[in-house]
Amino acid sequence: MKLALVSTLTMTVLLTGCSVPTAPKAVSPLDSLFTEPVGRSSATSVASGRNVSLGLVYSHNTQANRAYLKHYQANAGTGFGQSLLVQSIHDAYVATSKPDLAVDWVKASLQRQFGSVTVYPDLQSLRAAKPDVVAVVDTRSQLITSRSSDIEADVRAIFYDSNFNYIGTAQGHDAKALSPLWADYKRSEEIVADINEQQNVQVRALQKFDQSLSNLLTGPTDKVSMVDNKSSRKLY
């Protein structure tokens, strides 16, 4: 009975796969933010503490990622997910695609390190506010689709001084490749466990970000890379 149920589920996922959102293509975290190059800060570390104000702005990737996750979650509730025959599978898709998981986690982590943390809608507003330290928050997620069971999460906070000169980057990344969800031999419990890996991957990336942030705030930045490895573009 279970095998028949999963086989039916497999057909449903494949037939409705076209409605499953795919992750947006990544761009440089500085795209649409800086219109001219900035230099390397003379600071040897990122200033932090209760007397230091931090201004945040979300990169294009972060904004696109939040929209992607909202779409993914909405489809899990009313699109491809509504057609699933097992409620636990539907619920797992919804629970593991929280649009604000990364940005809320990053903000909370930064609030523990800085006196005040403010998110600004754009760079112009941030410049006018003149915080002590600036950070560009860049997040990306890739979740399960009908064509791929590869999961990936990447999160970064790129720090600049008050003159918008680059200081350093805290970052976390995690990924996992699963066997296809639509494999006929998988029971519904196994499918749910695989879907739950979506959140596990995101959480592990965020935990790695926290460790990287701690290292960045307690050590010198002279050995920190100033190049975005994914796009080979300098972050200053």
Q: What amino acid is encoded at 48 in this protein? A: S
At residue 234, the pLDDT reads 54
Confidence of residue 220 (pLDDT cuts 50, 70, 90): low
pLDDT of residue 219: 75
DSSP secondary structure letter of residue 21: -
According to the model, what pLDDT value does residue 145 have? 83
Tell me the residue ranges of DSSP E strands in the chain: 49-58, 114-119, 133-142, 150-161, 166-177, 227-228, 233-234
CA distances from 95 to 81, 98, 173 (A): 12, 7, 20
Q: How many CB atoms sit inside 10 A of residue 35's CB? A: 7
φ, ψ (nearest 5 deg) of residue 100: -105, 10
What whole-number distance in Å separates Cα of residue 189 and Cα of residue 145? Answer: 18
β-sheet bridge partners, residue 170: 157
48-89 pLDDT, tens digit per residue, is: 999 999 999 999 999 999 999 999 988 875 655 555 557 888
pLDDT for residue 15: 33
